[in-house]
Each structure stands twice: as structure tokens, then as C-alpha cells.
Amino acid sequence: MSLTENLAKLDAFLRPYFEYFSPKFYIDFYSRGRKDFLSRLSFEEPLDINTENWSRPIKLWDIEFKNNLFNAAGMFKSGIGYKMSALQGAGAWLAGTSTSNPRAGNNKFNILHPFLPLPNSKSAVNWLGLPNDGHSSLAAKISKIEKIKSCPIGVSVSSDPSETGFTALKSLLEGMNDLSKAGVDFIELNESCPNVSNHISTTNELDKSMLERLEYIKENFLHKRNKNLPIIVKYSVDTDINLLLKLLPILIDLGFDGINLGNTSTNYSYYITKLNSREKKIFEYFTSNFGGGVSGNLIKEKSLNLCKECSKIINSINLKKEFHIIRTGGIDSYQDLLDSEKAGASLNQWYTGYFENFSKYGHNLYQNIYSNH
């Protein structure tokens, strides 16, 4: 086994005991360890995984995905890990989220990029703050990637929280153009990030600045793209169903190609009732001191229900082109993929579930999901 596979197995065994330490120590330990682990993982090259034996190819937007599951944004922010993901058998690879300007991310109590695992709940909370090297740096790295068959490259982008008005729109467009030229196969526009200040998380009402951004992208990018480069828009799992009724026709009319439901949740009062006593204590400490977004098993039900409602709305609209639903949140088993398909989702992204599976199956995690069913 590789170093990261051994580390993941050891961590899975020890992690529940770390909850007995002080909340600050626990959070600091995992925030530091997470970054080192991801860096090591990204440069490993899994061997002897014959993905052709169990691949489940799916073609959307004239792009062939090896299967319908791949990493969510935030896992490979700096543009590394493509070859590792492709060799594992991921359906695609998603880089970012990137912004126009480099961002150091959040730092509080001398903890950089605070992260909290909740092992008993198979969930996590993070307050990263969109750390990244910027659109242009990410585009330069992606342009040098040698693509592997049926593992398309996607990138998550966001309007820079430090910019406003036309400056923010112009910078976002420049970044999308750079990434398009670099050879990405699809772009995901992140319209919901709870971990940065001044970034609006649209959950109940149509936000004026968001609508202006969507209109600007339509006029200056969607109508001018040289190839069919799908643009998917990502929203929180906290998004109100009544908002979807207003939002989906707008996205479809403007020419966007899909919706991702969804980003992490900030509905802390809802989730704390589902935690055991030890996790409640550390969860309250993290959310009261940092904030952050909840991911993993805790948001599984909400992400699935949103996809069901979204599918109903889309089916009531006379579509003139492909428009697909991507589900993110709580994916960790083949049954989740079946539930997603039944709910109307074409693709799935995982993050917390990825690491839960990696701790058990290592680099064979995709093979374990697909080959036994």
C-alpha cells in the first residue's frame, strides 16, 4: 500500500479518540494534517487498477465521462491531482475553486484553513475561505496536463470576493477565457460559498448581483465560446425550493448547461440535533468561532430532495438543449448513485465521502463503488 493509504487507515482508527482532546487542538491538528495529506495524495500514481473492466461511461454535452462520479471543488484547488484521479478511475477531475486574485484563505487563532472532521457522523465542517493561486495560475497548470481518455477536466470558478461591480465581472470573464484556452472541458460557476465575507449565498431570494453576473456571462461568454464548453452553476443545499422555481427557467433561458446542488450548508441548528454528545460540543465550538459549511452524510437527504424537486421543474420546461443536474453532498456509496439517478441527477461529486472510502479501499475506491454492482 502507498503512504497515503496507510495514513488514511491509521487515521480512520485513531480519529474517534482525538475527539477527547480540546476542540482547538483537534481542529488545529486536522487542519494542518489535511493540507499535507492532500499534497501527498495528489502526486501518487496508483498502479494496477484496470478501469476498463468496470468503467460505466456516460456521454453528456458530447463529453465522455468514465463514470458519473468525481471529486467536488475544494479537493484540488491548486491544479494538482489529475493523473492520480484518472488512474483511480474517477469519472472526471474538477480543479478549483479559483478566483481572479490569489487568496491565502481563512486564518483564525493561528489555524490556517480551519477544518473539522465528524467521524461518527461521516461528515465535516470547513472554513477554508477559497484559498487558491488565481485563475491565470490554474490555467497555466491545466494547459500542461496530458489528458487521459474519458477523464475530462473541469474547473470551479468564483467571482472574487475582494472585487465588486464591473471589475469583478471583467476579472471573472478573463479567468473563464484563460481556462477555456487552457483546454478545460467544463466550467462550474460557484454561486454559493459560505466561507468568505461579502460573498452572497443565495438561498431564498434571487440576488441582483448574481443575476447581473449570469447575464454578463451570457452576453460575453456563452454566445462567444468557440466550442460547446458547458457552464454549470452551483448553489447551496440550503437553496429554497421556491427559489428553484424562479431560478431554473432563468438559467435555461440564458443558455447555461446545468445546475449543481449543492454547496455546503450553514443550517447549524438543523444538524446539531443529529450529532452525538461529543460531536455536538466540538461542532458548536467550530461553528460559533469559525462558521463554515457542513458537508458529508449530514446533508445527504437535503441534496437528494433538492435534486428531485429540480428534476420536476426541469421536466415541466420545454428544453431546447441539454441541461443536467449534478448532485453534491453525502455521496459515499453505490446506493447513493442509484438514488441520484432516480432523482434525476446525471453526475455526482463527492468530497467527505471520498475520504471515507479512501480510508477503507485506498486507491481502489472507485473500483469498489462500481465493480461490485
Q: pLDDT tens, 97-153? A: 999 999 999 999 999 999 999 988 999 999 999 999 999 999 999 999 999 999 999
Contact present, 106 and 129 (Cβ < 8 Å): yes
Residue 7 CB coordination number (10 Å) = 18
Give yes or no for a contact between 54 and 369, defined as CB atoms under 8 angstroms apart.
Answer: no
The 10s digit of each residue's pLDDT in 30-75 is 999 888 999 999 999 998 888 888 889 999 999 999 999 999 999 9
Q: Judge whether 67 and 350 are in contact, CB under 8 Å.
A: no
Nine-digit cell string for 261: 446542488
Q: How many CA atoms are closer than 13 Å to the CA of 81, on its beta-carbon side?
A: 27
E strand or H helix at 363:
none
The angle, 0 to 180 degrees and rounded to 10, between the axes of the packed helices 23-42 and 3-18 is 170
- Got the DSSP string for 93-145? EEEEEE-SS-B---EETTEES-EEEEGGGTEEEE-----B--HHHHHHHHTT-
Q: Identity (one letter) of the amino acid at 358?
A: F
Would you state the torsion angle of the CA atoms of residues 124, 126, 131, 136, taken in this order, to the nearest 10 degrees?
50
Q: What angle do CA 126, 335, 76 make, to 5 degrees?
A: 35
Per-residue pLDDT of 283-297, as tens digits, reads 999 999 999 999 999
Residues in contact with 303: Cβ distance below 8 Å, sequence separation at least 6, in sequence order: 237, 261, 262, 327, 328, 329, 330
Percent of the chain with pLDDT over 90: 77
Of 245, 131, 266, 260, which is closest to residue 194 (Cα–Cα)? Answer: 266
The H or E element containing residue 193 is none
**Which residues of the chain form beta strands (DSSP E)?**
58-60, 63-65, 69-71, 93-98, 107-108, 111-112, 115-118, 123-126, 153-157, 186-190, 231-236, 258-263, 293-296, 324-328, 347-350
In 136-175, which positions are buried (b, 16+ CB within 10 angstroms) versus exposed (e)?
bebbeebeebeebebbbbbbbbbbbbebeeeebbebbbeb
The reported pLDDT for the residue numbered 271 is 94
Report how many domains make up the chain. 1
Cα first-last separation, the chain:
25
Of the candidate ranges 218-227, 275-284, 314-323, the one whose mean pLDDT is the lowest: 218-227
**pLDDT 10s digits, 193-232:** 654 454 445 556 678 888 999 999 999 998 887 678 999 9
Choose among 355, 325, 362, 357: nearest CA to 342.
325
* 197 or 344, higher pLDDT: 344
Contacts of 306 (CB under 8 A, 6+ apart): 237, 239, 241, 244, 261, 262
* CATH code for position 166: 3.20.20.70
The larger pLDDT score, comparing residue 27 to residue 373, is at 27
Q: Count CB neighbours of 75 within 10 A.
A: 21
**Which amino acid does the sequence have at 338?**
L
**C-alpha to C-alpha distance for 278 and 128, rounded to whole angstroms:** 23
Q: What is the pLDDT at residue 179?
A: 96
pLDDT at 47: 86
**β-pair partners for 294:** 125, 265
pLDDT of residue 163: 85
The boundaries of the domain holding residue 113 are 3-371
CA distance 285 to 25: 12
Average pLDDT over residues 167-182: 94
Residue 132 forms beta bridges with which residues? 103
